């Protein structure tokens, strides 16, 4: 019995018209789903091969031999947990790449504490990512590495690659990673410096809570984001496949992590308010970021339905990098469905896998 459906309600339902009973049963099943135990996530076997502060570098383990000599380092955003890339067996980007014979690594930034409130993007980009890359090269015995950046993690990857043209980076896959923040829709309106004081937010909170970021994201399409998932659950509660995916995705969406205040201040001011990166004005620890320093092979993916990193924000990278082998593809997906769900497994996974396979031997 659901905690939301009492015995009294159950008895009353027996006297309802049939169509009302059907609705009642759907609501009951949906509420049962919401109070079920959380699903297991991150099923692909892995080991920790390096740590720094809260961050861990994972290497994924497989019984299959590595078939491609260039390893892949996956880099995700600071504000969500990276297991979206390894959500469930049969629906895991990591699992797919491992099964195709790639040597796969991933940086898990961990959950920052209040003592990390002064962490800047500079620290992650110049202290963490370079050491992770060097550890991947040493562990794999490879001469070159492929980088895979998703969302904000891709933006950070682009900055890192720009500042380290001397490192042996053969391939970079950017996935829904924004580079041009000139026209960001409602995000730009909400974060406009005329009425959004990022200094007051960062100085007051120290760590920006995940609930605040999640609320801001949902405000872009409030009806769809606040109520849509639950309407869909009531409508499809009898579909076990849908329910499994719904529970997995809701677990991840509600499992956010705080944003260190100084990094948040930079992300909002330098990117959303000043659009410094694409203009060539961004400075990271005294070094100006020049995206034209990127010469690696590049696959740049956007989602046609993505409202967080809109296609034009993603595609802008193509005009500034120096790569001779570069490809931009706008896939028929959204910001999350590019990496989880039926479209991801049928479209995104093979698109990335095929592209990397041709350039990893």
- Strand order, beta sheet including 169-175: 46-52, 55-60, 104-108, 72-75, 145-150, 169-175, 297-303, 326-331
pLDDT at 144: 98
Torsion angle defined by CA atoms of residues 329, 332, 333 and 339, in that order, rounded to the nearest 10 degrees: -50
pLDDT by residue, tens only, the chain of 361 residues: 344 555 565 566 666 666 666 676 777 777 777 777 789 999 999 999 999 999 999 999 998 899 999 999 999 999 999 999 999 999 999 999 999 999 999 999 999 999 999 999 999 999 999 999 999 999 999 999 999 999 999 999 999 999 999 999 999 999 999 999 999 998 999 999 999 999 999 999 999 999 999 988 888 888 888 888 888 888 888 888 999 999 999 999 999 999 999 999 999 999 999 999 999 999 999 999 999 999 999 999 999 999 999 999 999 999 999 999 999 999 999 999 999 999 999 999 999 999 999 999 9
Residue found by looking up tokens 């309106």 in the block: 189
Contact between residue 335 and residue 176 where contact means Cβ atoms under 8 Å apart = yes
Torsion angle defined by CA atoms of residues 308, 102, 346 and 176, in that order, rounded to the nearest 10 degrees: 10
User: Using CA atoms, how far apart are residues 281 and 133, in angstroms rounded to an integer?
Assistant: 26
pLDDT at 3: 44
pLDDT at 228: 86
Active site residues: 151, 306, 335
Q: What region does 150 belong to: left with phi over 0, alpha with psi -120 to 50, or beta?
A: beta
**Residue from 285, 253, 137 nearest 146 by CA:** 137
User: Using CA atoms, how far apart are residues 95 and 280, in angstroms rounded to an integer?
Assistant: 37
Residue found by looking up tokens 């995916």 in the block: 245
Q: What are the residue ranges of helices labelled H in the chain?
A: 7-13, 18-35, 93-99, 121-123, 129-140, 152-163, 186-191, 198-205, 210-219, 222, 228-236, 240-253, 261-266, 276-279, 311-315, 342-343, 349-358
User: Using CA atoms, how far apart are residues 126 and 215, in angstroms rounded to an integer?
Assistant: 30
User: Using CA atoms, how far apart are residues 266 and 126, in angstroms rounded to an integer?
Assistant: 15
Residue found by looking up tokens 């991947």 in the block: 136
User: Using CA atoms, how far apart are residues 357 and 284, in angstroms rounded to an integer?
Assistant: 33
User: Using CA atoms, how far apart are residues 117 and 114, in angstroms rounded to an integer?
Assistant: 5
């Amino acid at each position: 019995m659901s905690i939301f459906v009492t015995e009294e309600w159950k008895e009353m339902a027996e006297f309802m018209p049939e169509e009302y009973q059907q609705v009642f049963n759907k609501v009951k099943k949906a509420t049962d789903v919401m109070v079920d135990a959380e699903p297991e996530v991150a099923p692909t076997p892995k080991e920790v091969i390096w740590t720094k502060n809260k961050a861990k570098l994972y290497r994924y383990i497989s019984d299959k031999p590595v078939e491609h000599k260039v390893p892949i380092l996956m880099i995700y955003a600071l504000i969500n947990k990276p297991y979206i890339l390894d959500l469930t067996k049969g629906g895991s980007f990591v699992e797919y790449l491992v099964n195709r014979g790639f040597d796969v690594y991933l940086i898990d930034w961990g959950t920052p504490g209040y003592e990390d409130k002064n962490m800047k993007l500079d620290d992650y980009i110049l202290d963490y990512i370079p050491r992770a890359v060097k550890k991947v090269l040493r562990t794999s015995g490879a001469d070159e590495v492929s980088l895979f950046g998703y969302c904000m993690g891709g933006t950070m990857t682009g900055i890192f690659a720009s500042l380290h043209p001397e490192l042996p980076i053969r391939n970079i896959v950017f996935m829904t990673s924004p580079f041009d923040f000139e026209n960001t829709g409602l995000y730009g309106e909400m974060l406009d410096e005329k009425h959004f004081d990022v200094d007051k937010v960062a100085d007051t909170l120290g760590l920006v809570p995940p609930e605040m970021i999640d609320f801001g994201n949902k405000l872009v399409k409030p009806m769809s984001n606040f109520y849509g998932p639950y309407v869909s659950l009531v409508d499809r509660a009898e579909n076990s496949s849908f329910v499994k995916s719904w529970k997995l995705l809701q677990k991840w969406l509600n499992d956010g992590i705080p944003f260190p205040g100084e990094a948040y201040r930079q992300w909002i001011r330098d990117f959303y308010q000043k659009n410094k990166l694409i203009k060539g004005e961004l400075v990271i620890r005294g070094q100006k970021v020049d995206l034209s320093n990127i010469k690696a092979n590049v696959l740049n993916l956007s989602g046609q339905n993505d409202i967080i990193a809109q296609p034009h924000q993603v595609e802008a990278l193509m005009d500034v990098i120096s790569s001779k082998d570069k490809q931009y593809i706008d896939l028929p997906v959204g910001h999350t469905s590019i990496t989880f769900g039926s479209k991801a497994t049928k479209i995104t996974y093979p698109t990335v896998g095929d592209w990397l396979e041709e350039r990893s031997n």
